[in-house]
Structure 1
Amino acid sequence: MGSSINGKHQYLAGISANILSISYGCVYGWTSASYVYLQDESNHFTTCRLTKVQLGWVTAAIFPGSLLGAIFYGWLADKIGRKRCLLFSALPMLVHWFIIPFAHSPFQLSVARLLAGSTGGCCFTVIPIYITELAHDRLRSTLGTFLALGLAVGMLIINILGYFFHYITVAWIMVAIPLVFIVLFFFSPESPQYLAQHNMKKAERSLRHYRGISSYGDTNEEFQQELRKLCKPEQPIQVKEKAGTAQLSWQDFTHPKARKAYLIGLGLVLANQLTGCLAMLNYVTLIFKEAGSNISPMLSTVIVSIMQVLGTYASTLFVERAGRKTLLLISTSGICLGECAMASYYYLTTEGYDTNKFTWIPIASFSVILISGTCGVMSIVFPVIAEITPPKIRSIVVRVHMTTMFLLATVLVKLFPFLSESLGIDGTIFLYAGFSFLLTLFITIFVPETKGKTIEAIQDIL
């Protein structure tokens, strides 16, 4: 196939699968987009307006749900398949949007977000595995960035709708997205690699579909090589059809390459969280308020969302040209510089210096942080983790990494107000800048470049 590869069906599968991540992005940004209404005395909650503590719990409820979802759906994907698992995970998302219009307390909102969070756990755990297993080497990383792009598009959609409509109206509109996902994704075949564990004929049909080969006479050597990789060389197809999932042993996890892949993956998870991008995204309003920005809180979230989409889209364009490692290095170093500029502004302001002429710095530096983050640590981390992990243990290791990520997210989101109170917002952001610098060094030394390499070649260089 080479340069003549037909990627149409792979792109369609990547887009349709990530309609679910768009819905999760809407959930992620919902509290920020609904902030004005949730703080309004005239809302229909029995507690009237939500206090900051209640709003904090509603905001953070998504992360325990994501943690549980990563564990449960990671297990379910191995039992019933990636496709059916993703379709099933859309149901809690639908329930979430149906609960919101009828919720009369912060507890009910928190339950709704807990359910939607479980779908997010599925997105981060199952979608990267599904894409890695169906994608051609040339398209794997581009398709892998669709997850982060879907999240960014979802946050932009919810912030634009929240700017114009009441949050109850927005919830009814949002019901459409998981329904569209179910209808479109239903027609995508299961991944060839998962099917190969159970039935090689179905695996071959799936591989033909994703490579755009309709006739059995149209195959070439490259396709045949891919097909042979699905079936162990020493194991004939007839035997493979009867075989179940390969048995795992402790040695599969303790092999030097597996250990190295796990530690690199853990470092990438830390880069995703400890650089501070995601924690600060939940407190955009607070950050701009502390800066004395003249831009309204709702408009500032829309601007930030646009920046996030632009940065993520840039990563989809350049991930195959610049390489994964290069973009990750640009990402962490850009975040570090942006955070140093922002923290310096806050420090000088709190020290009594006249910074009235520089009130543009927070939004400019935050834009640098967000664009840098979305073109690397918030988008490329997930496909790279799936690429470097040995296929036999990929599902379990990705599940562990996503569980770790959501645990960290829960802690960091809840800690941010306390850190900004004790260290000051300048000290908190300087702390994130320090982590960003250290993680830049980590990526430089330990993370391999996976651009243009097959899964087998990546395993060889570990």
Structure 2
Amino acid sequence: MLPMGYGVTCGWASPSIVLLTSDETPLPSGKITMDEASWIASLICFGALIGNILFGIITSKFGRKIPLIILTIPTVISWLLILFAQNVYYLYASRWLNGFVGGGIFVIVPGFLSEIAIDRVRGFLGSTLVLTCNFGILLAFVFGNYFDFYMTPKFVIMLTIVCGILLYFFPETPSFLIKQNRLSEAEKSIQFYQNLGAKDGDYELVQSEVSRLRSALYSEKPGKSDESMKLSDLIQTPGRTAMLIGIVLALLNQLCGCFAMLNYTANIFEEAGSSMSPNMSAIIVGIIQLLGSYAASNLVDRTGRKFLFVVSSMGIAFGLITLGVYMMLKSWGVEVNTFNWIPITSFSFVIFIANWAVMSLPFLVISEVLPEKLKDFGTSFCMIILWSTAFIVIKFLPLLTATLGFHGTMFLFAGVCLSSAMFIICLMPETKGRSYDEIMNLLK
């Protein structure tokens, strides 16, 4: 529910900015300028950076459950600001809070899902983060096209309140409880999340899981806790390799060009001679995103993470190169009207294949490969890199396209995807169905 609500946040700007910059704006202060609209779009990144840092600290001290419940408060406030907005400053504050919540969600939820899931379903459960986020984006596009401005905030406020109430009844994750030496609560948490009863066989499974988690968190010396992070954990394997993988996947997530594609939606449909409205075009994009992330959730525990990342990265590169060649020939004055289906086809393919892995699975893989001691810091650090890169892409994409041309920008993003694919082939281990200890051994 929380990622779905955040997905609505991500998709809200597309139809709403069109309305807010028009004469029909719902703001009493009047319509906003395009410069103000650009700040509405980009302030979410600043909020996310603060959310990453703050919730990275909070989760290490207070676990996963309490921070998730806390996140519902700024979510409700942010949408109340939109519901009762009098001028653009209400929207600025709302978008900053929206980003703050998003930063928290992408730090906490991947770790939460990874810690409660058994190895067999960990991939599917982890992939639902982006799947539900994309569903929320699609909902925002549909609401923006078919309902009034105030329907979206009412929907998300209701969804978030229900989520907060439900989260109250869930136990904390076993890993955090063991870190706190609350072993009896950890056993009950394992029983709850793995649906184990009081039978002898189930009791042995619980004790085995407790022992596995304790061995990951404590040194070999009995009675001495070694759960605090040290500099040596960052510069030695497996921590060094895991951090490098996380940083590359975070950069690839933003520099693959998909963010650029979504910003050029109207241009691409216009190039193809489409008569569809911008909002209807956005709905089509939302459906493609959802289908791609749904495919990932079904494939991730069958084909594996590494295979999907390689296919996704190379597929994006192929689609971007195809689109780049079309735009390059068009800029040279070559007659390409016969092939005006290429922009839409390439665009749709890139968005679809990107959601197989590059856009949907980095958060899962980062939570899987990071050692227990680095999980809170490492996840937060990788998300800070992701959101910083997102802000740079938003602000400097027009300058990049003006300097290199649209086709040059596509070729640059394609190069990033191909080089990342080589890195993944050489250094990223396959984590499908593997236990924590097996993954750590592969990183050494």
* TM-score (structure 2 length as normaliser): 0.94
- Tell me how far apart the structure 2 counterparts of residues 222 and 460 of structure 1 sit (CA, whole Å): 23
- Tell me how far apart the structure 1 counterparts of residues 330 and 29 of structure 2 sit (CA, whole Å): 37
- Tell me how far apart the structure 2 counterparts of residues 202 and 416 of structure 1 sit (CA, whole Å): 50
1:119 aligned residue: 101
1:191 aligned partner, one-letter code: T
- The question of whether the paired residues in 1 share the 8 Å contact of 2:268 and 2:344 is answered with no
Task: Report the CA distance shift for 1:235/1:171 in structure 2 as closer, same or farther (over 3 A).
Answer: closer
1:7-406 mapped onto 2 (5 Å cutoff):
19-45=1-27, 48-198=30-180, 199-215=182-198, 217-219=200-202, 221-232=204-215, 246-289=227-270, 291-406=272-387
1:13 aligned residue: none
Residue 302 of structure 2: SS of its match in structure 1?
Answer: helix
Q: What's the CA shift string for 1:155-201, capped at 9, x where partnerless?
A: 01000111112222322222222122112222221100001112000
1:304 aligned partner, one-letter code: V
Structure 1: runs of 5+ lacking an equivalent: 1-18
Deviation for aligned residue 1:216: 5.2
Query: Number of residue pairs matched?
Result: 440
Residue 357 of structure 2: SS of its match in structure 1?
Answer: coil
1:277 aligned partner, one-letter code: C
Residue 119 of structure 2: SS of its match in structure 1?
Answer: coil
Deviation for aligned residue 1:55: 1.1
Q: What's the CA shift string for 1:231-259, capped at 9, x where partnerless?
A: 349989xx98xx98833322222222211
Which deviates more, 272-281 or 210-219?
A: 210-219
- Tell me how far apart the structure 1 counterparts of residues 8 and 190 of structure 2 sit (CA, whole Å): 32
- Tell me how far apart the structure 2 counterparts of residues 340 and 56 of structure 1 sit (CA, whole Å): 28
Residue 379 of structure 1: SS of its match in structure 2?
Answer: coil
Task: Report the CA distance shift for 1:185/1:282 in structure 2 as closer, same or farther (over 3 A).
Answer: farther
- The question of whether the paired residues in 1 share the 8 Å contact of 2:83 and 2:153 is answered with yes
| C-alpha RMSD of the superposition | 2.1
2:405 aligned residue: 424
Deviation for aligned residue 1:390: 0.6
Deviation for aligned residue 1:78: 1.6
- The question of whether the paired residues in 2 share the 8 Å contact of 1:332 and 1:440 is answered with yes
Which deviates more, 98-107 or 53-62?
A: 98-107
Q: What's the CA shift string for 1:25-45, capped at 9, x where partnerless?
A: 110111112233122113143
1:412 aligned residue: 393
Q: What's the CA shift string for 1:200-225, capped at 9, x where partnerless?
A: 00000000111111225442644432
Which deviates more, 61-70 or 169-178?
A: 169-178
1:129 aligned partner, one-letter code: G
Deviation for aligned residue 1:285: 2.6
- The question of whether the paired residues in 2 share the 8 Å contact of 1:32 and 1:282 is answered with no
Residue 428 of structure 1: SS of its match in structure 2?
Answer: helix
Deviation for aligned residue 1:58: 0.5
1:219 aligned partner, one-letter code: D
1:444-455 mapped onto 2 (5 Å cutoff):
444-455=425-436
1:255 aligned partner, one-letter code: Q
Deviation for aligned residue 1:87: 0.8
Deviation for aligned residue 1:46: 5.8
- Tell me how far apart the structure 2 counterparts of residues 348 and 209 of structure 1 sit (CA, whole Å): 59
Give % identity. 34
Task: Report the CA distance shift for 1:138/1:408 in structure 2 as closer, same or farther (over 3 A).
Answer: same
Deviation for aligned residue 1:47: 5.8
- The question of whether the paired residues in 2 share the 8 Å contact of 1:273 and 1:408 is answered with yes
